[in-house]
Each structure stands twice: as C-alpha cells, then as structure tokens.
Structure 1
Amino acid sequence: MDESKDARLAERIKGLMALGITRRQCCGKLAIGARAFERIIAVHSIHYPKRAKAALHAPHSPRPAMQTTNIAGQQK
C-alpha cells in the first residue's frame, strides 16, 4: 500500500463524491476495487454515502391515466 497514492486517490474520491458519482462508478473511474475503495475512505475519514438521499432525486410525476376501450370500441 502506497500512502501517497492512497492520499491522491482520496482527493479524487472526494471530488467524484461532490459530483454525485456513485460508489461503484467511482471505483470504475479510478480503476480500483471495492475493498481498496473502502480502505481508502476509512483511512482518510471520508463519509461517502452508500445511497443518495431521496430529496436529491427529482420527484416522480404520475403517469397519465390510460384510456381504455371496451370490445365495442367505446371509451369507458
């Protein structure tokens, strides 16, 4: 384990976290495994949420009601 490399990765992890990148995407962009990621955030006291907060997501809009027709082709 190279401490200077881990320190550089820790800074990049903080930057990607600020962009809203998921943990898995972060590992992919940095070409590191999940265990290395977990070790680095633990050693450098980085709180990287496992899941985005619901308030950060756009609210879901309800789907428009579907019009149905009966066998005779009349709308209900």
Structure 2
Amino acid sequence: MAELHSPISPSLYPFLTIMLTTGGLATTALLYVSDVVQSKHQRPLVQDVSLAAVSSVLLGFGVFFLLLWCGVYV
C-alpha cells in the first residue's frame, strides 16, 4: 500500500496558521467597524455578506491548519 503524503509541507503549517488567522481576524474587524460606523440603512448587504464569507473561510482554514500544526490530523 502506498504512503500518503500531504500536498502542503508540514513545515508550512505554522506560517499558514498565523497568516490565515490574522487575515480572518482583520476582515472580521473590518466588518465590525463598517457595521458600527455606518447606519443601518447605509450599509450594503452585499458588502456585509462578502466580508463575513471571506472572514469565515480564512478563520476556518486558519483553525484547520492550527489543528494540523498541533498534531490533530483531521
């Protein structure tokens, strides 16, 4: 039986964890600031949904690589 290898080198897990989590937190902060600064009727729905989707994906992959970095292979 052939051995399975990760398509991403395990030495990149810490870097990917930090970069993706930082990007997710930054987009979450941007979403929060735009919601606080603008009134309810001035906020475009597409912008809110797109920022929420981007931050969700970045944080999801950041947590995924954090688990891989810690040795929890999912």
Whether TM-score is above 0.5 comes out as no
Per the normalisation by structure 1, the TM-score is 0.33
**Higher RCO, 1 vs 2 (CA within 8 Å, ≥6 residues apart):** 2
- For the pair shown, the structure with the greater C-alpha radius of gyration is 1
Q: TM-score, normalised by structure 2?
A: 0.33
Which structure's residues are more often helix, by fraction? 2
